[in-house]
Structure 1
Amino acid sequence: MRSLPEMPAMSDRVLVTGGTGKTGRLVAEQLAVRGVDARTATRHPASADQVRFDWDDATTHGLALDGVTSVYLVAPTDRTEQLPVMRPFLDQAVARVPGRLVLLSASSLAEGGPMMGEVHAWLHAHAPRWTVLRPSWFMQNFTTQHLPSIINEGCIYSATRDGRVPFIDAADIAAVAVEALTNPTLASDDHVLTGPEALTYDEVAKAITEASGRPVRHCRLSVEELAARYAGFGIPHHYASLLAGIDEAIANGAEDRTTMEVRQITGRAGNDLANFLASQRASLVGV
């Protein structure tokens, strides 16, 4: 795809939605290192570099976009249909933002598919400059949602059977996002982002055991058992079934591939799981 012409020089100000999340926080930090003004969008701003923003409150959208040259888009996670609530903001962003709209989606969600796939298709149809990041599963999942069962039960629960996943470090996703947000010559496109190796959950459990010194195993569940486990955490049944179905797709090989997108866009190799786990040893041993 042909690169777009460079835009006139201007002072960069990037609005980072989801700015306190796994990737948004890192995007803001990496932008600041580059000397770019990163404005974090949050419901409860607590500092000068934050602005009040709520997907459900259109009165917050205009002020958040003032002076913004690019936007990092993290869809709301409390629903399975993101486009209807994002559309009012996206309409304003396309009209007011001269640079790129960068959407965080997922490798499992193709353009036009459910959830962020619908937002992906909308951006392709309406935004002059856009990038959709489609990362595989985050390495950080093992130091967040999986961490309680790792520490308390020595288990990682999944319905992936022997399916492989090319887990990616959120810092590498953020590095690609920053490049997309600040490089006007990058062509509009979507990018499937992965780590350097695809691993089974059995192999991940072994790697965590080696990194932490505590025995950890992969506790295999059926899709139905996993959906019930999610529902037990308070996740709505429809969404719990959708999430468990993603594990079934992994079991059938949907995530068994690696790409070179991180290296091609950032100029450096992505982090591997062993290095990531070594850096997180204190969390994994419960210190």
Structure 2
Amino acid sequence: MSARPTGLLVTGGTGTTGSRITATLADRGLPVRAGSRRPAPGTRQVRFDWADPATHGPALDGVGAVYLVPPVGDAEPARLMLPFLERALRSGVRRFVLLSSSAIEEGDPGVGEVHGALRQLAPEWAVLRPSWFMQNFITSSHLHAESIRATGEIFTATGQGRVAFVDAADIADVAVHALLDALPHNAAHVITGPETLSYGDAAAVISEASGREVRHRPVPAAEFRARLVASGIPEDFARMLAAMDEGISRGAENRVDPAVRTITGREARRFLDFAAGHAGHWRA
């Protein structure tokens, strides 16, 4: 009888959470490969493209656990992810950790469908449902980071709604536990920071940290959607993001969950500390 596959595949391996997970697993000497559409030679990266099934088999060879990051900007990721899940199960993968969102419930269209499939089909699984990333305020490709640098403003359709912003490093640490813990989690984890803030509060914290005035400018959902589309986001995905902002305005994300402390044994990072550590990103 052949040994159980022990390798780990991190899809989205060069992304915000995937790169952190890959680095942690590599530092522990584990056989990890980072899936990327454009892998860099001489690294742990392997070619992986959700839309190209020919890349799936080689990426899964010898793998026993997979971190699943949905295809970026795709409002209907299940059409690509579910066939991959079935193929991974056939190849011997036992454990799956899915990156979802606190705004997406099991069974919802898209990633919610993948969540449901994992719970029903995977021997070992976890679904991570993080709140909004703190990194959205500093990642150059994100609308918030770009508008802060360009105009000193943050545009959202959230009104005065509050969010427990979470550091991607905390999400990655929870993911590493979900991939490696001896007992499978077989659960969905809502992952948040330790406090809720409105975008106006976040702007005030950024202003204090950077010494530059930053303001939150609430706009109607239709205007926010148009701004997303103008930034290059597909129309259907922009519509989904705008709807999530409207949910925040109604209080959908006004909650704090202790998952980071419960799973990792330490407190989640505060936005105040994050802003202090990244103040240079916002200075003119």
TM-score higher than 0.5: yes
Match of 1:118 among 99, 105, 113: 113
In the TM superposition, 1:240-279 aligns within 5 A as: 240-279=238-277
The equivalent residue for 2:39 is 45
CA RMSD of aligned residues (A): 1.5
Give the whole-Å Cα distance in 2 for the aligned partners of 1:11 and 1:99: 9
TM superposition shift of 1:98 = 4.3
When residues 235 and 187 of structure 1 are mapped into structure 2, their CA distance, relative to the original with a 3 A threshold, is: closer
Match of 2:129 among 108, 127, 134: 134
SS at match of 1:72: strand
SS at match of 1:22: coil
Amino acid at match of 1:217: R
Amino acid at match of 2:33: R
TM superposition shift of 1:227 = 1.1
Q: Would the aligned equivalents of 1:132 and 1:190 in 2 still touch at CA under 8 Å?
A: yes
Q: Would the aligned equivalents of 2:25 and 2:32 in 1 still touch at CA under 8 Å?
A: yes
| TM norm structure 1 | 0.93
Give the whole-Å Cα distance in 1 for the aligned partners of 2:5 and 2:110: 33
Is the counterpart of residue 108 in structure 1 residue 103 in structure 2?
Answer: yes
Is the counterpart of residue 70 in structure 1 residue 76 in structure 2?
Answer: no
Q: Would the aligned equivalents of 2:129 and 2:190 in 1 still touch at CA under 8 Å?
A: yes
Give the whole-Å Cα distance in 1 for the aligned partners of 2:231 and 2:146: 13
The equivalent residue for 1:18 is 12
The equivalent residue for 1:152 is 150
Q: Would the aligned equivalents of 1:70 and 1:97 in 2 still touch at CA under 8 Å?
A: no
TM superposition shift of 1:237 = 2.6
Is the counterpart of residue 283 in structure 1 residue 275 in structure 2?
Answer: no
| TM norm structure 2 | 0.94
When residues 91 and 150 of structure 1 are mapped into structure 2, their CA distance, relative to the original with a 3 A threshold, is: same
Amino acid at match of 2:235: H
Is the counterpart of residue 57 in structure 1 residue 52 in structure 2?
Answer: yes
The equivalent residue for 2:198 is 200
Match of 1:29 among 1, 19, 23: 23
User: How many aligned residue pairs are there?
Assistant: 278
Amino acid at match of 2:11: T
Which moves more between the two structures, 230-239 or 147-156? 230-239
**CA offsets per residue over residues 176-225 of structure 1, 9 Å max, x none?**
00001011313301000000001001100000001100000101101111
% identity of equivalent residues: 49
**CA offsets per residue over residues 238-279 of structure 1, 9 Å max, x none?**
322221111110000000000000111111111110111111
Q: Would the aligned equivalents of 1:15 and 1:41 in 2 still touch at CA under 8 Å?
A: yes
Is the counterpart of residue 214 in structure 1 residue 209 in structure 2?
Answer: no
Give the whole-Å Cα distance in 2 for the aligned partners of 1:263 and 1:119: 26
The equivalent residue for 2:160 is 162
TM superposition shift of 1:48 = 3.9
Give the whole-Å Cα distance in 2 for the aligned partners of 1:98 and 1:16: 13
TM superposition shift of 1:115 = 1.8
Give the whole-Å Cα distance in 2 for the aligned partners of 1:129 and 1:171: 23
Structure 2: 5+ residue stretches without partners: none
